[in-house]
Chains A and B, each alone.
Chain A
Amino acid sequence: MSGLIAENLTFQYGENSVPILCDFSLKISKGSIVLLTGASGCGKSTLCGVLAGIYPRHGGVLKSGYVFCDGVDIHNASVSQRAQLIGMMFQNPDLQFCMDTVENELVFCLENICVQPQEIPFRVEESLAFCEIEHLRTRKLHTLSGGEKQKVMLACIAALESGYILLDEPLANIDPYSGKLLCERLQRFQKKKDVTMLIVDHVISNFLTISDEVIVLGDQGSILQRGIHKGNLSEHASELSRIGISVPNTNYTNFVDNKQIAPRQTIFSLRDMKVGYNGADILRGVNIDFYKGCMTAITGKSGSGKSTLLAALSRMNSYKGSILLESREASHVPRKHYAKQVGIVFQNPQDQFVANTVYEEIAVSLRDRCIQDDMPLRIRSYLEELGLWEYHKFSPYMLSQGQQRRLAVGALLAYECKVLLCDEPTYGQDKRSVEAVMEFLLRRVRRDGLTVIFSTHDMVLAETYGYYHYWCENGRLYNCGKRQEVTQCYEL
């Protein structure tokens, strides 16, 4: 019984909660690459966890069904046996290592599966060479970029010699260039080791070229479509767009008429600005202006300094040179006053939450902004605009990722800041959620004259929503204008 077989899986997180997967069955033949896609919240990551044996061991209830991997029942196999059968690469590259250096992490993997000590150095060498990361051997893991971390994770899977690999949105935190390299590496890995890959991603263009089949999931893990591949994608394009999945070469629905929000004045002027970290310059000699009342997109490879720039503009990072906020040196504005004018939405919306419920999260922002009696009505209207009123008693941490992001943005806007800095506000979300967040921001730009500066790896998003489009590279920021030029930059 070779291949990965799931039969009649019914899984839910609580004993009495709604099932995330309902009577789900799937068979993946050995040696194939399958891309599993679907709208945000349809249960893709949960399915990945159940197939890998993480659930119900780490939470949830498996009401019925089983998973067999080459004839072995995954949920009854020992941990080390499971690791040798199925390897997993996670969305967040920061939280998948437990040792300090790349070499020690590989040693940790091999010790876990009881490889004899005399054989370990050889296997470490082999895995590093296979992923071409010998130069990273002694590097501290926390100093690696997102792309490098994913390569190390691949080396771990190679060391464990797992026959099946589950990848849960492995490109969510890395730029298109690194993503493309990782994709090629995965394909080579699959061919050499004849492994089976199940990739979960809502952006099908990332893996379309290497996948044998694309499977589209609907609610509760129902399979909406199977057998999609590069050759017949155009036949399914309209159906995929309908359920919120981004199809290659399609734009976002709401194209901005840039003329409607022509910017007026400069809000930030950066002159010879420099930001360093641990003795190294991340940004240097930056001379550029940002304009009031419009959206500006910043793109660039991972580690090029986009997040550092936003952190400096928000004054989370100290800087040298000059940042003028409406002709006033940013560092001369009292920090508390500055934070009220310039808000920042972090990559992870959970970093933003300061209250225990969704309702309180908005209430905190409105406390000094409206009369106490008006507050309940104002909060309700805000939450309705965000589409979150039905969750107002929930903890912010219980919302889905897309909902968390809308809440994080909405809570800052309720505080009526002048400038909103958004660090990759759309990563890890399907097309529909991306459009919802961006449209929400755009409405505020048009209605209230808000200034939005956002970073992204999505070139189409930058081109669609950014009135200005800046490119970050080698510590400098360029006003790059047309999209084609930027696309070439990525491919260099």
Chain B
Amino acid sequence: MTEHMPLPPATGCRTAPVLKERGQREVFCGLTGIIWLHRKIQDAFFLVVGSRTCAHLLQSAAGVMIFAEPRFGTAILEEADLAGLKDAQAELDRTVEELLARRPDIRQLFLVGSCPSEVIKLDLNRAAERLTQTYAPRVRVLEYSGSGIETTFTQGEDACLAAMVPVLPSTDARELIVIGALPDVVEDQMVALLTDLGIGPLRILPARTIDDEIAVGPNTVFALTQPFLGDTHAALIRRGARHIAAPFPFGEEGTTAWLSAITEEFNIPRALFDRVTEAPRRRARQAISQAAVPLNDKSVFFFPDSQLEIPLARFLTRECGMTALEVGSPYIHDALHGPDLDLLPAGPQISEGQDVDLQLDRCRAAHPDLTVCGLGLANPLEADGFATKWAIELVFTPVHFYEQAGDLAALFARPLRRKSLLKVAAE
């Protein structure tokens, strides 16, 4: 490690007791991932098989409506489908035919299961196999569940990527796959860094189109860019691939640690690593030190939302001078979150799951300077005088790797800056 790397804390949070809660969860379901996945994978269409609620969620989830003709839609189940008056599989065939006739540019179709389709046990796996045969080779049909009874928010992306793993071709080549949907600009920066480090061949899942070749096998190693990809992690291990465990690439420290783990795997000389990363590391540190001024010595409380909470808490405490009071995450996987928990200084309450009313009580008692929470809670907390950061913005904004490290700090700093700017109180 180079001289700028601060030492890990004497005691991290990896073995800290976790408060496990189960009650009302103020979170999105996995369908929400479609909002970014349908833009990332440019020849894919996401067909939710669900209810009017699913369609309404997709329309409202981002807090905005995106009215370009989207590459997603909902096959809304109707009374006749539920009463068994119509054969749901035949109805699905008809709907897909209608859709593909309308969108001949679609090469990959994802049938996305929902709460209602799972409760009535509609077999989307069988449907996907049948439809793949019908439309091969033009269209590949896969299925995954984005339902609220199975998945929380970002787990939808995990389920989607995990569904793609079994159909990847096999290879014995020693290759690196980087997993996670990143904004194109960030992905390009990452590819440039890894290429400069002499690491390759490099594949990315999800690829932008079906034609991008990705194969997997016993010599494949993979790195995750998102902390919510537990099922994809497991699916790749089942295919014989090996995970390069590392903190997630948020902030200067996280990015360096992440790249460093890959570099070690590929036996890249330290001197080359230092040469490639020196300038971006300096830029990242500089940007963070400017953007994080309002965050220094402030406290932060995380409600569970995207599973980004633990790596972000690590970033805010280690690089922005904040103190974490509670770090809530919908799920905690040791294999994924362990390296970040090691770096997170002991102190905060780590919590998994949610009982929103109890957690609001804790938040009010803790009186954090900044609360990271979902859109349903943000304005009510603001009205009570709490500065909040909407968690969803962290999923929709380029925040990974060196060049975005300052932006990431600025995202958290903005609510505090704004609070100090506004001179007229609410009442």
Task: Tell me if chain B binds chain A.
Answer: no
